Structure 1
């Protein structure tokens, strides 16, 4: 059975500010024409490969802050791609890096985006039934 994802409590200011800036940047990418969105996401993430890796706890805190800081002014849906990109950007704003992972599964057919740390810990892959039907990584950014 699929678990519902609820917004976590309001994060502390040191996590909230990078999460809000990163979410705004991710929504700016979503506002691009559909043919240019994925290229823009990957180009943004590729610029961060020289930063030192982040530990899983740090990435989890920032992911929770991104989920909690989704802006009320955005009328559209905020998908997993925007949450994952915002988490990667928020981690970069704190001076660390993590990896954007794009994945899929066969049955039921779907795709998903999540974040992975340097040691392989996955953050955000439990969304959309990831526990019931595991996701297969298709592309991982450097």
Structure 2
């Protein structure tokens, strides 16, 4: 379970709220189109300069803190990772969306990575005990 960290500053909170809203709007799409929409949105941010690990981690923490309490459904790692990529883009930088899997116990997961390879969000759901293998990474 993910616990929301302390409230971030406004310059991190506003992009996180907007990005989380956009990520949750994608859940209204038919199931077969959601992943394509996520990948297309992240590929639109390629032209931006890369973000550093500190910047991406701060935005990831802001996304965790800005998860709406009124949302009745579950907010999965896919939405958190996409919201982090979009929040990063709203601040003028880009990071990569990574989709991964593991065999024992079998599961799928999504996280973000910086240009230098720092992975953020992959420690969720037992990522330290049972490491994730990246299956797809946006450029």
Question: What is residue 131 of structure 1 aligned with on the other side?
Answer: 128
User: For the residues of structure 2 that align with 1:50 and 1:32, how far apart are their CA atoms?
Assistant: 26
Counterpart pick for 2:108 among 102, 107, 111: 111
Which secondary structure state, in structure 2, belongs to the residue aligned with residue 9 of structure 1?
A: coil
Give TM-score, length-normalised by structure 2: 0.98
Question: What is residue 86 of structure 2 aligned with on the other side?
Answer: 89
Structure 1: runs of 5 or more not aligned = none
User: For the residues of structure 2 that align with 1:77 and 1:5, how far apart are their CA atoms?
Assistant: 12
Structure 2: runs of 5 or more not aligned = none
Q: Deviations over 1:44-90 (max 9, x none)?
A: 01111010000000000000000000012211000000000000000
| Misfit runs of 4+, over 4 Å | none
User: For the residues of structure 1 that align with 2:133 and 2:28, how far apart are their CA atoms?
Assistant: 28
Is residue 2:25 matched to residue 1:31? no
User: For the residues of structure 2 that align with 1:120 and 1:99, how far apart are their CA atoms?
Assistant: 9
User: For the residues of structure 2 that align with 1:19 and 1:92, how far apart are their CA atoms?
Assistant: 10
Question: What is residue 80 of structure 1 aligned with on the other side?
Answer: 77
Q: CA deviation at 1:5?
A: 3.1
Give TM-score, length-normalised by structure 1: 0.96
Q: CA deviation at 1:18?
A: 0.1
Q: Deviations over 1:7-56 (max 9, x none)?
A: 10000000000000000000001121101100100110111101000000
Number of residue pairs matched by the alignment: 139
C-alpha RMSD of the superposition: 0.7
